[in-house]
Amino acid sequence: MHSYDFYLVGEKLTALCTGSLFWEEMGILCVSDLHLGKTHRLNRIGAGALPPYENIDTLKRLQEDIHNTNPSCVICLGDSFDDPLAERSLSTSEINSLKILQKGRDWIWISGNHDPYISCKYGNYLNSFSKSAITFRHIALRGENGEISGHYHPKISVKLSNANVVRACFIADQNKIIMPSYGTYTGGMSVRSDEIKELVDPDAIVMLTGKKIRAIPYSSCF
């Protein structure tokens, strides 16, 4: 299964195996935590020497999702760039790829803790964005209904085909969704962590990304 349909406050949404979320009725494709330029930031501060290919890979996967869903609007749910200098480190070809993806559609950048800007060279930033009964923001608010957020990079370690694997995942209850990180070089926080447990209901579902998407009860993760 390459996608999984579910409902949030009465709205049908589709989780894609890549880690993006499609709201077909509104023509909205949502991704979170691209962290473009992470290699540039880490190399700049001497924290590592990763191969500089994450921007190309992340944008290529986003291009495929846009091609497959043809959204009228793309929402990037915060931490799209790893920091202001990383934002300016994109190569000419990467900038051109991003501008091609943006052409002919609305593109909404939500501010994150890594990119708390009011604007950038690729468009304007918003603190949050609401459509119908759903609000998009970077960090989840407790008690909020109809919310889609990112920030925590949820992941889960499970046993599949007699092997333990770690997968980025969505976690969703009837009132909110926490998106997986879309960026190629990003890590994650276990859905078993106290920080995530405090935000979602025990009857939540976890949707594992990968070649196929798999939905399991949150309660089965403990």
Q: What is the pTM of this model?
A: 0.94
Residue 60: band (very low, low, confident or very high) from pLDDT cuts 50, 70, 90: very high
Q: Which domains does the chain carry?
A: 3-221 (3.60.21)
90-97 long-range contacts (CB < 8 A, ≥24 apart) are 90/36, 90/37, 90/55, 91/55, 94/36, 94/55, 94/56, 94/59, 97/56, 97/59, 97/63
Task: Give the DSSP H/E element, type plus range, for residue 114.
Answer: none
For 156-206, what is each residue's pLDDT tens digit?
998 877 888 899 999 999 999 999 999 988 889 999 999 999 999 999 999
Gap between the Cα atoms of 103 and 68, Å rounded: 16
Displacement of CA 142 from its chain's centroid (Å): 19
